Structure 1
Amino acid sequence: MRHILTAGLLALTAIPASAADEAVTYPFNGSFDDAAFAVENAIIGRGLVIDYVSHTGEMLARTAEDVGSDTELFTEADIFLFCSAQLSRKVMEADLMNIAHCPYGIFVADQGGEVMIGYRTYPDGPMQEVQAMLDEIVKDAMK
């Protein structure tokens, strides 16, 4: 019984990882529009189809007052969502639960004139191949 209580207390005091630990970001030397255009071209240039562009920055700005905030989080922020049929099949054949990571996303954000491009990190194992692909796409966009 003591082991169960100890385990429960440890779980309650565990500190969650910060979002910074769960994302890879690169500073972009240029405007938000240039970064977004570069990311779009880098994704399409690999023969991938962008399923959706989430205009997260616009949504946050539009809803700030509704949620009682006057803090501007981003000047602009978009997330490009897409999949790779070949790579998605490969990682899901390795573990069907890798479906939880699809679609993949690359974000572009401007925080007060500082533009960044990034993506979330993925768990060890087969999903590292997806993370490597995202990193290659971002590096292509940075050129």
Structure 2
Amino acid sequence: MKRFAVTLAALTIAAPAFAEGVTTYTTDASFEDAAFAVESAIIGRGLVVDYVSHVGAMLERTGTDVGSDVKLFEAADVFIFCSAVTSRNVIEADLLNIAHCPYGVFVADKGNEVIVGYRNYPEGAMQEVQSLLDEIAQEAVGD
């Protein structure tokens, strides 16, 4: 239990928000500006955005189809990309790390705040990916 508390404390210090395997940062920027900042942070590292998943629009469009009238986000996108160098490093360390590729950073406007975040990865080699995602997210929110 002590080890868990120390690990949780370390993760809390490293990231402003940590819940259920996700790290998030808030920003005062608009959704559009935050999305542009995420894309720029990815491209600025010489990486290519493979796809932008417009999750917020899909959820809004399909809400009534699944029997819900709850508005989840004002807007929400996930930027999907990969890094040849980072992916090679983590997959050479463990071939099953292929399951974590490609990587994504999301931007979501919850109405009262805009958040930028990413999914957390397991200890070991995948922490190289987590560090990359954290750099991108922090750059996007201006930390």
Shorter chain as denominator, the TM-score bin is 0.7 to 0.9
Query: CA–CA distance in 1 between the matches of 2:28 and 2:59?
Result: 24
Alignment match, 1:45? 44
Q: How many residues align?
A: 125
Alignment match, 1:126? 125
Code of the residue aligned with 2:103 in structure 1: it is Y
SS of alignment partner, residue 52 of structure 2: strand
- Over 6 Å off, 4+ runs: none
- Over aligned residues, Cα RMSD in angstroms? 1.0
SS of alignment partner, residue 20 of structure 2: helix
Code of the residue aligned with 2:129 in structure 1: it is V
State the identity %: 66
Code of the residue aligned with 1:34 in structure 2: it is D
* 1:33-85 Cα shifts (integer Å, max 9, x gaps): 00000000000000000000000000000000000000011110000000000
* 1:78-122 Cα shifts (integer Å, max 9, x gaps): 000000000100100010110110000000000113100000000
Q: Give the TM-score normalised by structure 1.
A: 0.85
SS of alignment partner, residue 87 of structure 1: helix
Alignment match, 1:9? none
Q: Does 1:102 align with 2:95?
A: no
Q: Give the TM-score normalised by structure 2.
A: 0.85
Alignment match, 1:71? 70
Q: Which one has the largest radius of gyration?
A: 1
Q: CA deviation at 1:20?
A: 2.5
Query: CA–CA distance in 1 between the matches of 2:129 and 2:102?
Result: 11
Code of the residue aligned with 1:118 in structure 2: it is G
